[in-house]
Chain A
C-alpha cells in the first residue's frame, strides 16, 4: 500500500474533503465546462482577470473523485495572481509531470507535485487534468463542454 499513500497524500485527501475556491463566480471573465466520459465526472471552471491581465478570482464546481477534485482545488490556488499565459505554461508543466515526461522533482510545481503519483496510473491522468483542460477551454473561449476523451 506504500505507492497508494504516495498517490493519496494527505494534502490530496485534505483538498478533496475541503476544496478551495469551490463555487461559480458571478460575472466571470471566462468560464467553461469539462466532462470525463470515462467516469461521468463534470467540472465547471470560471475566472476573473484584473486590468493587469492577472487572474484575480477563480472558482470551480462539480462532483468528482479525490484526484480530480484535489487537482481542481490545487489548480485554483496555483493560478491566482498569474497571467493567462503563465497559467497555460503551468498546465503544460503539470501535464508533463502527471504523464511522466519529466523526472519527479524537476517540476518546481510546489503543492501541485502532490499529484505526481498519478504518473504510475495512466487511467487516472484524465482525472488529474480535467480541471486544467477546462481552464484552458475557458481561456480559449470554448462554447462546447470540453471532454477528456
Chain B
C-alpha cells in the first residue's frame, strides 16, 4: 500500500480486483436517502465525506463500552480508553507511513496542524528579511497562519505562481527557494482544482537548500496512499472528516527531531511533566502538543476510518476514481457552455467548473433540487478564484463510493441548468 498519490493516473502493475462499489455504498447509511424527491448524489466529498457504518460503530462503542479520560486513571476504563487512543495513534502512524508513533500529534484538523507548525516550529526560526514560501493554489488554512507568523516576525510571505491549467510552476518555485527561505508549505492536492502537486520533487529541491517542508494533505489522504518517509517531508497534516472519519480530529506528522525541538503550542494538562509556580517542565512529543483532554473517541473513529479505507485498498480506489474523473471530464467538456477550471495533467477526482450565463450559486441550487450535492463558492481559496478571474465555481468532488451513473446524473443536471438559464 505504498502507491504514491502522484502516481494516481498510472495503472498499477498488479491489476486490482476492482471495487465492488455497490457493496461499498451499502456501508454508508447517509448515501441512501432522497433529496427533493431524487436519490441523493453526493458530490461534495472535498468539503467533507460521508461516514461508513464501521466509523459510526466505533464512535458508539467508544462512548458506550470503553470511555473514560486517557493517560490518568488507574482504573480499568481509563486504561481501555488510553489503549484505544494510543492504538489510534499507531494506526495513524501506519496510515501515513511514519517511522514511530511519537511522530503523530492528534489535532482538531489540518488547519490546527498548520497553525501548530507555524507558531511552534516556524515562528522562532523567523525574523525580518526571512521568507516563507507557499503556492498560489493554497487553501486559506495554508495561507492565513503563515501570514500571521510573518506579520508577527517581520518575515515575508512569498507565493509561487501556477499556470493556466492550475499546475504549480515548478521552475519558478525552485527559483524562489533562497537563503532567505526558512519554511516551505505546500498543498499536496488542491481542493479547488484537484491538482496533484509534485511534492516529492518540491521536498527534494527545498531540502537541497536545507529548507523544511510542510505538506497540507487534507485532500490527498482520501485519494491515495501517503508515505511521509518516501515523500521526505518534515510535516504532513490531514483531517479525519475528509477521510470518512468524524469531525474535530486530524493528525499532524512531524519528524521526531523537529517535534522535540519545538515549543508547546498550547499550555494545559497532559502537555506537562512537572508543574510548579517557578517552572514547568514540558512533556515529550507528541503529548507536549496535546494540551487538555483530547478528542479521544474522535481519534478512535479516525482510526476506524483509516482501517476501512486501507481495507478497500488504495490501488482499487485510485483506479475507480480515475475512471470517474475521466468520465466526468468527458461528459462535462462535451457541453459547450461548461468551462472546466483546473485541468492539470496529474489530477485527483475534483471537477471545478463554471457555466456561461449561470452563476455557481444558481447551479448549486438547481442541482440540489435534482438531488445532487455540489459545492458552489470560492472553496476557501479566494486567490485561486482571482487567478482565474472568477468570483466562484461549482465543484463536484468524487469519492470511491460514487458511480459512473452519478456522473451521468451530474451531466444531465447541468443540462437542466443550461435549459433554464441559457
Please list the residues of chain A having a beta carbon within 8 angstroms of any beta carbon in chain B: 1, 3-4, 7-8, 13, 16, 38-42, 63-67, 121, 124, 127
Contact = CB atoms under 8 A, between A and B. Distances in A.
B377 A39 contact: yes
13 contacts: A1-B369, A1-B416, A3-B36, A13-B420, A39-B360, A39-B361, A39-B377, A40-B385, A42-B391, A64-B359, A65-B360, A65-B362, A66-B421
Nearest to B386: A40
A145 B414 CA distance: 34
Contacts of A124: 361, 365
B370 interface: yes
B366 A40 contact: no
B391 A40 contact: yes
A97 B405 CA distance: 39
Contacts of A67: 361-362
B382 interface: yes
A8 B361 CA distance: 13
Contacts of B358: 66
B136 interface: no
A66 B359 contact: yes
Interface residues of B, number: 20
Contacts of B421: 13, 16, 66
Nearest to A38: B377
Given A39-B359, A39-B361, 18 more contacts: A1-B369, A1-B416, A3-B369, A4-B365, A8-B366, A39-B376, A39-B391, A39-B392, A40-B385, A40-B391, A40-B392, A41-B361, A63-B391, A65-B360, A65-B362, A66-B358, A66-B362, A67-B362
Interface in B99-146: none
A31 B392 CA distance: 25
Contacts of B420: 8, 13
Interface of B: 36, 358-362, 365-366, 369-370, 376-378, 382, 385, 391-392, 416, 420-421
Contacts of A38: 377
Contacts of A66: 358-359, 362, 421
A121 B376 CA distance: 15
Nearest to A1: B369
A39 B369 contact: no
A147 to B, nearest CB: 14
A108 B41 CA distance: 39
A24 B365 CA distance: 29
Nearest to A42: B391
Contacts of B392: 39-40
Across the A-B interface, the 3 shortest Cβ-Cβ residue pairs = A65-B359, A40-B391, A65-B361
A127 B369 contact: no
Contacts of B362: 8, 65-67
A37 to B, nearest CB: 9
B72 to A, nearest CB: 41
A4 B369 contact: yes
A136 B261 CA distance: 54
B122 to A, nearest CB: 28
Contact of B382 (A13, A40, A41): A40
Contact of B377 (A3, A40, A63, A121): A40
A16 to B, nearest CB: 8
A46 to B, nearest CB: 21
A123 to B, nearest CB: 9
A7 B391 contact: no
Contacts of A121: 365
**Most chain-B Cβ atoms within 10 A of its Cβ — which of A38, A40, A41, A121?**
A40
B52 to A, nearest CB: 28
Nearest to A121: B365
Contacts of B376: 39
Contacts of B378: 39-40
A91 B392 CA distance: 27
A126 B378 CA distance: 16
Contacts of A65: 359-362
Contact of A127 (B361, B370, B385, B391): B361
Contacts of B369: 1, 3-4
**Most chain-B Cβ atoms within 10 A of its Cβ — which of A41, A42, A64, A66?**
A66
A78 B186 CA distance: 50
Nearest to A127: B361
A39 B378 CA distance: 6
Contacts of A8: 362, 366, 420
A141 to B, nearest CB: 27
B365 A41 contact: no
